[in-house]
């Protein structure tokens, strides 16, 4: 479980860096790769089914993918919606229901074969869920447009929350319209 904890620590920082540096959509692709590699390592462990280096690697990847996907999910819920309470509420209730269902399923998983089948099923389901995130319309293009206009990209989220004008109203005037205008007139 030490490797699981180390994976948890590194996964959240890793995906946070990816989101900050490249955005949420590329982070979704990274999560798909992480989920696929975690699933493959888990299936390899199930086929060998003995304690060794692969067991440590599997635990590390479980923690890494868990924190990476949870951090990215929390980032989406916190920054991509105008109101935070509804998305977090729906996410938490669905997560609780899914955990309960999978705990009941795990009661019936015993032995190498059933654990391998269960791991493949959960891995494929995880890939489908991570891939489904690609259908989400991220606000990043709106933020990038604001940066191009010379505005603060973080103000866009605050402005939408507090009812300040929408993105289309932030258009910069052409240079020829502002030539010869007094600074007091602009203020």
What is the DSSP secondary structure assignment for residue 176, as one 8-state letter?
A: H
pLDDT score recorded for residue 75: 82
Domain boundaries, the chain: 2-138, 141-186
Cα gap 187→183, rounded to integer Å? 7
pTM, full prediction: 0.66
Tokens of 181: 């205008």
pLDDT digits (tens, 9 = 90+) for 110-143: 888 888 888 899 889 888 988 888 887 776 655 5
| Model pLDDT for residues 59-101, shown as the tens digit of each residue | 898 899 988 988 888 888 777 777 777 888 888 899 899 989 9
Instruction: Please say whether the beta carbons of 3 and 53 come within 8 A.
Output: no
**Tokens representing residue 107 in the block:** 């009661």
Torsion of CA 170, 176, 179, 181, to 10 degrees: -50
Higher pLDDT, 55 or 169: 55
Residues 6+ apart with CB under 8 A from 43: 116, 119, 120, 123
Q: Would you state the pLDDT for residue 164?
A: 46
């Amino acid at each position: 479980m030490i490797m699981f904890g180390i994976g948890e620590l590194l996964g959240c920082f890793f995906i946070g860096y990816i989101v900050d540096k490249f955005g949420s959509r590329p982070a979704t692709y990274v999560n798909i790769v992480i989920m696929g590699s975690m699933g493959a390592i888990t299936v390899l462990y199930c086929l060998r089914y003995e304690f060794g280096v692969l067991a440590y690697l599997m635990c590390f990847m479980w923690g890494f993918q868990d924190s990476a996907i949870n951090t990215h999910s929390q980032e989406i819920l916190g920054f991509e919606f105008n109101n935070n309470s509804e998305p977090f509420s729906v996410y938490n209730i669905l997560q609780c229901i899914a955990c309960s269902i999978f705990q009941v399923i795990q009661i019936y998983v015993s032995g190498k074969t059933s654990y391998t089948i269960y791991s493949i099923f959960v891995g494929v389901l995880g890939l489908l869920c991570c891939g489904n995130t690609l259908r989400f319309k991220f606000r990043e293009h709106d933020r990038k447009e604001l940066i191009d206009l010379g505005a603060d990209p973080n103000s866009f989220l605050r402005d939408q929350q507090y009812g300040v004008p929408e993105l289309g109203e932030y258009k910069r005037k052409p240079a020829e319209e502002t030539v010869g205008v007094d600074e007091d007139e602009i203020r």
